[in-house]
A and B are shown apart, each in its own frame.
Chain A
Amino acid sequence: MGARTSRAAAAALTLVVAAGCAGSGDGGADDGRITLEFLSLAWQEESVAANEALVAEWNAANPEVQVRYVQGSWDNIHDHLLTSFEGGEAADIIHDDASDLTDFANGGFLADLDGLLPDELRDDIPAESWATTTYDGGVYGVPFLQEPRVLIANTRLLEASGVRVPTTEQPWSWAEFEDASRALTVDEDDDGTPETYGVAWSMREPVAQSVNLSLTTGGQVFERQDGENVVRFGAADSAVAELVNRQVHEDGTAPEGSLGMSGSETLPGFFADRYAMVPLNFSFRQQVSQQAPDGFAWTVLPMPTGGPEHGLAQGVVPQTLSVAEDSEHQQAAVDFIAFLTRPEHAVDLALGDWMLPTSRTALTDPALNAAEDGWAVGSEIAAELRPSPVLGVRGYPEWKDKIATPAFQEYYAGALDLAGLRDELTDDGNRILDRYQR
C-alpha cells in the first residue's frame, strides 16, 4: 500500500508537470508582431463559424497583428470580466452587451474609443445606437448587433381569426392588439379555460421587457432629473404592464401559467396551438424555425404601438465590442473591430446570430430584407429602436434584482395592485439609485 501511495503521489506530480507543459506559451510580442486576444460570446454554430472565418481572414491579411479567437460564455460574463479586469488579464477585444458597460466604464476598465474609431464606422451606425455605449462623453464600445421584441404568430390561427394582419407601416395599436388577442382566444367547450389563448407573455424576466416596451407608449421608467437618474412609473410608463395584467386577469386572453416561463418554454404551447402569439426577442426565430413541427407556418409581426407619435419605438440593449483599457494595442484592437463590423461582415454576424446589425448599410443587404423568417420585419423596425432606458443607470442591476423583479412578478400574478407596484418601484427603488449617485 505504501508503494502504491508513493506511486499515486508521483503520478499526480507528473500529471501536474505535464499539464503545465501542455500548450503553454501565450502569443505576445514576437519580432514586432502583436497578438490581440478577442473574447467572443458568439455561441450559435453559424455565428461562431462566421466569427472564426472573419478572424482567419483578418489574420491572413494582417501578419503583423494577429488575433486570437477565444470563445467566452454569457454565463457569469460580468463576474468573469470583472475578475479579469481587476487582475489586469482581460482580453484586448471584448464582446459583451451595453448593459454591462456602465459599470466597467465607470471603473476605468474600458478604453475610450473616441478618436480611435474610423469615420466610416461612426457614420454608419446611428446616433441612437452610439448613445447606448456613450457615458460622460466617452465611447466605450461599438454597438454592432441588436434585437427588438417581436410578435411571433401562428399563421393559420391568425388567418382563421379574420383579424387585420399588422405590418411595420400599419402596426396594431395596443387596443387593436387586445382585440386581436380576444379574437384569437378560443374556448370551445366554454369551461372558462380557453383551448387557445391569444397571446402568451413569458415573464420570468419581467423587468427588461416592461421597461423597454414602455417606450411604445411614450414611457421610459428612468428619467434624468438634475443630472441624476430617477425612477418614475406614471401612466405612460405603466400602460403596457397594465395591459398584460388585464389580459391575464380580466380578459382571459393570456394564460397566467406562462408568466413564470422563459421565452423558450412558451414555444411548445405555441407549436401545439395553445398560444396563437408569443412576444419574443428577434433571435428566437432560430429556435422557432428549428423546433416547429413540419408544416407549421409562423409569421413575424411588429410589436403594437401606443400611437403614431411613438412609432415602433422600443428599448434595446445592443451587443458591443469594447477594448480593454489595459490593452497595449488599443488602435490595433479598434482596427480589428472596424474590420469585424464592416457592413458586409456585420451581415454575416447578424445572420449567424439571427439578430439585426446596427450598421445602416448592412441593414440594406437583401438577405436581411427577405420575407422568409421575418427578416424584413426586423430590418424595417431597426431605424425606430431606441437605447433601453436602463442603460447608463448606475445601480440598475440592484434595483432590478431586489425591487423590480419581485414587484413586477407580484403585479403580473395579481398579488400587487398598480399603486403598490408604483410605490415599490419608485420609493424603495429610488433609495437604491440614490446610493449609487451620492
Chain B
Amino acid sequence: MSVARRSVAHRAGRAGQYLALCAYLVFLAFPLLWLVSTSFKSPQELGAIDPTWLPRSPSLDNYRDAFDAQPLLRSALNSALVAVSAALIAVTIAVPAAYVMVRFRSRISQAGTVWILISQMFPFVLVIIPLFLVLRNLHLINSLPGLVLVYVVWNLPFALWMLQGYVRAVPVELEEAAAMDGAGRLRTLVGVVLPMLTPGLVATLMFSFVTAWNEFFFALVLLKSPEKQTMSVILTHFIGAEGVADLGPLAAASVLATLPALLFFALLQRRLVGGMLAGAVKG
C-alpha cells in the first residue's frame, strides 16, 4: 500500500515538474510566438482592441512588404559574415589566452583578469567616439572587417572569462599524462585540452555570435554604406520618429532576423551538452 502511495506521489511530483517546465517554456517562447503571429496579421487586425492569438486571416503581405522595403537578404548576409567571423576569431584568440591564464598563474594573468572585469564596465556611448577615431586612422570606418575587429575586441574579455572556467575544469592529470607520452605544450593544448573544451567552445561561440548578430549601435555608427549595413540596423528602418513603427513588416523582418540565431543554436546545442569530461579520470 505504502509503495503504491509512494508511486502516486512520485508521479504527481514528476507531473508537477513537467508542468513547471511547460510553464517556463511558454514564458520563454511567448514573445517569439507572439512575434510570429504578429507577422502574419493585417494592419486592421494589429489595430484591433482585442488581440488575437492566431491571425484571423493569415497573410504573407508583411513579409512581402518587408522584402520590398529593405534589403533584408543582403543585410542578413552581412550580419552572418560579421557575426561568424567575430565569433571564430574571438574564440581562436581566447582559447590559448584562457589556457595560459589558468595554467600559468602570474602577475600578468592576474592583471588580465582585472582587465576583463574593468572592460565590462564601459558603456558603448563612452567608447564610441575614441573607437571611431582609432578606426578612422586605420581606414576601417565603413568596412565590415572594422566592425569584426570591434566585435572581437568587445567580446574577447567575456569569452576569456567564460573559457577560463572550462579550462580550469579540465583535469591537469590528463595534460601530465600527455606530457609523459612526449606531447609538447601545443600538442597537449590541441590534442588533449581542446577536445575536452568542446562544450565551452560552443557556448563561447554562441555567446559571441549572438552578441555580434544583435549588436546595433556600433554597426549603425561605423557602417555608412547601405550595402554594408547589418540586419539590426536595417530593422530600425521600419521605425520612425517618436517610436512610430510599421509594425507588421517590422515583425516579419524580426522573425527573419531571429531565424539564423535559432538555426545556429539548433546546430550547436547538442555539442553544448556533450558532457565530454564524464569518466575521463577515475576517482
Contact = CB atoms under 8 A, between A and B. Distances in A.
Contacts, number: 156
Contact of B81 (A15, A74, A80, A271): A15
B42 to A, nearest CB: 9
Interface in A74-97: 74-76, 79-80, 82-84, 86-89, 91, 97
B47 A5 contact: no
Interface stretch (B17-25, B108-116, B223-231): B223-231
Contacts of B85: 12, 15-16, 19
A271 B133 contact: no
A89 B146 CA distance: 15
Contacts of A234: none
A87 B43 contact: no
Interface in B58-102: 65, 68-69, 78, 81-82, 84-85, 88-89, 92
A45 B65 contact: yes
B198 to A, nearest CB: 8
B224 A89 contact: yes
B195 A89 contact: no
A375 B61 CA distance: 27
Interface stretch (A20-28, A122-130, A211-219): A20-28
A84 B221 contact: yes
Contact of B92 (A9, A86, A274): A9
B3 interface: no
Nearest to B71: A71
Interface stretch (B26-34, B161-169, B242-250, B267-275): B242-250
Given A23-B228, A26-B225, A73 B239 contact: yes
A248 B128 CA distance: 44
Contacts of A268: 47-49
Contacts of A73: 220, 233, 236-237, 239
B184 interface: no
Interface size range of chain A in the complex: 35 or more
Contacts of B46: 291
Interface in A257-291: 262-264, 267-269, 271-272, 274, 281, 283-284, 287, 290-291
Nearest to A204: B243
A271 B190 contact: no
B244 A48 contact: no
A70 B228 CA distance: 11
B44 A80 contact: no
A37 interface: yes
B132 interface: yes
A217 B47 CA distance: 34
Interface stretch (B5-13, B137-145, B170-178, B255-263): B137-145
A79 B123 CA distance: 13
Contact of A19 (B43, B148, B190, B226): B148
B236 A37 contact: no
Contacts of A12: 84-85, 88-89, 92
Given A5-B194, A24-B143, A75-B239, A292 B88 contact: no
Interface string A3-35: 001001101110111111011101000000000
B221 A80 contact: yes
Nearest to B51: A268
B224 A8 contact: no
Contacts of B244: 262-264, 283-284, 287
Interface string A57-82: 00000000000011101111001101
Given A23-B225, A79-B125, A1 B144 contact: no
Contacts of B283: none
B264 to A, nearest CB: 14
Contact of B241 (A2, A74, A79): A74
A188 interface: no
B239 to A, nearest CB: 6
Contacts of A74: 236, 239-242
Contacts of B43: 290-291
A79 B244 CA distance: 19
Nearest to A84: B221
Contacts of B50: 272
Q: Which 5 A-B pairs have the closest CB atoms?
A: A291-B47, A19-B144, A12-B88, A2-B190, A272-B49
Given A48-B69, A83-B129, A268-B49, 10 more contacts: A1-B190, A11-B88, A20-B145, A76-B220, A83-B128, A89-B141, A262-B244, A271-B47, A271-B48, A292-B47
17 contacts: A2-B194, A9-B88, A12-B88, A15-B81, A16-B89, A19-B143, A19-B144, A23-B228, A37-B224, A73-B233, A73-B237, A73-B239, A74-B240, A89-B141, A97-B241, A269-B49, A291-B46
